[in-house]
Structure 1
Amino acid sequence: MGLESQTEKSIYEKYNLKKVINASGRMTILGVSTPRPEVVNTVCKGLNEYFEIKDLVDKTGQYIANLLNVENAVVVSCASAGIAQAVAGVIVKDDLDLLYNLHASDKYVPREIIVPKGHNVNFGAPIGTMVGLGGGIVVEAGYANECKPDHIESLINPDTAAILYVKSHHCVQKSMLSVTQAASIAKKYNIPLIVDAAAEEDLQTYYQQGADLVIYSGAKAIEGPTSGLVIGRQQFVEWVKLQSQGIGRPMKVGKEGILGLTKAIELYVTDPRQETGQQMVTKMTPFIEKLNAIDGISARVVWDGAGRDIARAEISFDAKVIGKSATEMIHLMKQGEIAVYFREYKANEGKLDADVRSVTAEQLDIIYNKIKRIIQGAN
């Protein structure tokens, strides 16, 4: 038995785990992404060496900053930890007493974090929880379906610590101010702008648009190990780093994560392997055509609602024809030897989306055949 077969057995059979086809995208619940061999190799090397960790943090951060042409950067354990530590950083700054006692201190400092109401979402955990962990208080601006610059300006007061802008498909997209507009307000009132851009693909644009801190997931678009990245202005990133002695301690990232993400960013910038949206369309066109030949199913190409260059297959189920709702199909597709996961956000509309970035053409055939068997009543 070859090494690959032994490894497969040790994971799937030893722990009685299902195999998964990930048609939901870069989702935390499925392990996010699959790093390149070069990244895996760097992680392995990092695990087997010793470093002065502060030196490693500082020097990899500067290396990343140089790659991205930003002032400063730091690797953190994940994007949500980055939010909490960024909020704590702009509240605590370099106040050591507050750093050590943020959880219990009643010392007065500005703590209000203004968030567009349509950005106060649950991304797998609530944005408000991350803000609260960082010692902040969420203040919602505007309405669920609208936030204009004056909605934010009207809330700014001496207790305002920062503006938090969430760039995500989870958020309301229509009638929202832009990052540039938010940055203009932040500059006008001399308060920091934090942008949570966890799943975004452009590692420079929000910094260039005026954000003081920008947070990314290391494991999503960048395809690194489980980790996060915070980039931004020199002093603000230093305040985030300081949180390793405060709330950031239980969120610490290991040496392997630091080195693995640094390598992944280097590859992401110098040797991108991402499929374009049009390449995704080409890959899934035969899949869509076959689905459209099944009575009660219609499929089409849809583009990412947050403006990223990502094409997906939207699959609509006519429950009256196939006898099963989209919600039931989602459940049934997860059963059996191979679990298939879709994007489920539109299930109440009778639809689901297949994200093909992590799916091969052969796996699309498996998905099609499983859908067909379920509809035909096969087990």
Structure 2
Amino acid sequence: MLRNTEYPIDWSWHDSEGFKRLVNVSGTMTSLGGSIATPRVAAATAAAMPRFARIHEMQARASEVIARLTGAEAGFLTASASAGITLAVAGAITGMDPARAEALPTAPGARSAVAVQMGHLCEYGAAVSQAIALAGGSTRIVGQSTLAKDYQLAAALDETCAAALYVVSHHVVDYGMIPLETFAEIAHARGVPVIVDAASEYDLRGLLAKGADIVIYSGHKFLGGPTSGIVAGRKDLVRAGYLQNIGIGRGMKIGKESIAGAIAAMEQWLERDHEAVRAEENRALDLWQDAISGLPGITPVRIPDPTANPLERLQVWVDPAKAGASAAQFAEAFGRNDPPLIVRGHEVEHGYFQLDPCNLMQGQAELVRDALVKVLTDAESAARFDTRAALAAARNGGTQAYMDWLA
């Protein structure tokens, strides 16, 4: 079935290395390691490690696979999707001029602005605008946070604009933004290429078909490869982005083992039994929903992914007056369970948390069910956690973890 359920629950690695156990029902989160590679991908990654290889030859092979996967003319691999944004922007600024590539980011030249709708200026662990700035680009904001208009985009695309960036993500505003097809049409009429950040998206072909010139994906999220970013699209822009390895891209490079593993992950995706995977995810969602539907103050509702990925999550609404604790307090309690259950809690201030089944290992659906019942029926323990602190932890968890480690 080519998914994580090939692995049984096994804590031996965590225990022997002294790392904390965890069960991930949050999703494909970078802070949790992205996803779990299958044995096939792990074997391909390991096989490359004790050998020498020509990196450019491996990248050429990766380009062939990327083309088959996405329908792009060409592609390359880099350290992450965030790195892919920076390199794609840099390539749009410099073209194939190596002297200009070496001058980045301090001397990008006059044509270095990147147009982005305000509603797409998200934070995915770092700011989209910072990925642009690392290339020497300047962010040119289009519209307001809930509404961008066609003429506003057109006005931004003058002779100083090197690219237009479009973000497809649950992090961005969905309403009031210019649709990709229209966005691309306006940009192309002014000779400006369109770069799409689609790090966590299943749609590996549709975005290019809708007019994107470059699309960037994560190799270590739904694809289940080693940490990597995939840059796919027009050959001239791909080549210009790859050229950046002589400059700012040097610090974003990817090694032989990750290239080998990412190629295996992409080939695996082409063969994946997507219907069988979806059926297993639906089984877990049904199991969880049935287990907690009758609990006081708890209302579980299945919801589709906001960007039309073919998956659903269980959104668990919590009425503190009836449940005895808030969604934030329960999320904190799950994180202190044994083993810790990491729920999708970035919107707990709205009174709910979510459960994502896409990273389950063998037997974990049942383990999660039991943990849900245990924690949600022990409101007294959950209520001991300070709600404001729990909300702050959900909002600043990643940054706070860094700060705690550095202390």
- Normalising by the residue count of structure 2, what TM-score does the alignment of the two structures yield? 0.86
Report 1:311-330 matches (<5 A).
311-330=312-331
Equivalent residue number for residue 81 of structure 1: 83
Give the whole-Å Cα distance in 2 for the aligned partners of 1:221 and 1:206.
17
Equivalent residue number for residue 146 of structure 2: 145
Give the whole-Å Cα distance in 2 for the aligned partners of 1:195 and 1:139.
16
- Deviation digits for residues 341-361 of structure 1 (CA, Å, limit 9, x no counterpart): 111232111111111112342
2:291–2:369 CA contact under 8 A, matched in 1: no
Q: Match of 2:35, as an amino acid?
A: S
Shift of 1:195: 0.3
2:65–2:266 CA contact under 8 A, matched in 1: no
User: Which runs of 5 or more residues in structure 1 are unaligned?
Assistant: none
Alignment RMSD (CA, Å)? 2.1
Note if 1:198 corresponds to 2:199. yes
User: Which runs of 5 or more residues in structure 2 are unaligned?
Assistant: 1-6, 385-407
Give the whole-Å Cα distance in 1 for the aligned partners of 2:122 and 2:234.
26
Q: Match of 1:180, as an amino acid?
A: E
Equivalent residue number for residue 103 of structure 2: 101
2:324–2:380 CA contact under 8 A, matched in 1: no
Equivalent residue number for residue 366 of structure 1: 370
Shift of 1:67: 4.3
2:292–2:373 CA contact under 8 A, matched in 1: no
Equivalent residue number for residue 263 of structure 2: 262
Shift of 1:16: 2.8
Equivalent residue number for residue 18 of structure 2: 16
Shift of 1:321: 2.4
Q: Match of 2:365, as an amino acid?
A: A
Q: Match of 2:129, as an amino acid?
A: G
Give the whole-Å Cα distance in 2 for the aligned partners of 1:320 and 1:63.
54
Give the whole-Å Cα distance in 1 for the aligned partners of 2:165 and 2:275.
28
Q: Name the count of aligned residue pairs.
A: 373
2:157–2:192 CA contact under 8 A, matched in 1: no
Q: 1:241 and 1:267, CA in 2 relative to 1: closer, same or farther beyond 3 A?
A: same
Quick check: 167-176 or 342-351, which moved more? 342-351
- Normalising by the residue count of structure 1, what TM-score does the alignment of the two structures yield? 0.93
Equivalent residue number for residue 179 of structure 2: 178
Give the whole-Å Cα distance in 1 for the aligned partners of 2:68 and 2:306.
31
Report 1:118-129 matches (<5 A).
118-129=119-130
Shift of 1:278: 6.1
Give the whole-Å Cα distance in 2 for the aligned partners of 1:139 and 1:104.
18
Instruction: Decide which of 94, 98, 109 is 1:92's aligned counterpart.
Output: 94
2:69–2:204 CA contact under 8 A, matched in 1: no
Q: Matched residue of 1:314: which SS?
A: strand
Q: 1:125 and 1:370, CA in 2 relative to 1: closer, same or farther beyond 3 A?
A: farther
Q: 1:274 and 1:256, CA in 2 relative to 1: closer, same or farther beyond 3 A?
A: farther
Shift of 1:275: 5.5
Give the whole-Å Cα distance in 2 for the aligned partners of 1:117 and 1:110.
20
Give the whole-Å Cα distance in 2 for the aligned partners of 1:124 and 1:134.
18
Q: Matched residue of 1:248: which SS?
A: helix
Equivalent residue number for residue 238 of structure 1: 239
Equivalent residue number for residue 375 of structure 1: 379
Shift of 1:276: 6.0
2:98–2:243 CA contact under 8 A, matched in 1: no
Shift of 1:274: 6.5
Q: Matched residue of 1:223: which SS?
A: coil
Q: Match of 2:237, as an amino acid?
A: F
Q: Matched residue of 2:266: which SS?
A: helix
1:123–1:170 CA contact under 8 A, matched in 2: yes
Runs of 4+ deviating beyond 4 Å: 273-279
Give the whole-Å Cα distance in 2 for the aligned partners of 1:275 and 1:150.
45
Shift of 1:273: 4.3
Report 1:203-214 matches (<5 A).
203-214=204-215
1:284–1:364 CA contact under 8 A, matched in 2: no
Give the whole-Å Cα distance in 1 for the aligned partners of 2:283 and 2:14.
32
Shift of 1:43: 0.4
Shift of 1:373: 4.8
Shift of 1:308: 1.6
Equivalent residue number for residue 28 of structure 1: 30
Q: 1:274 and 1:241, CA in 2 relative to 1: closer, same or farther beyond 3 A?
A: farther
Shift of 1:309: 1.5
Give the whole-Å Cα distance in 2 for the aligned partners of 1:25 and 1:80.
18
1:276–1:310 CA contact under 8 A, matched in 2: no
Q: Matched residue of 1:338: which SS?
A: coil
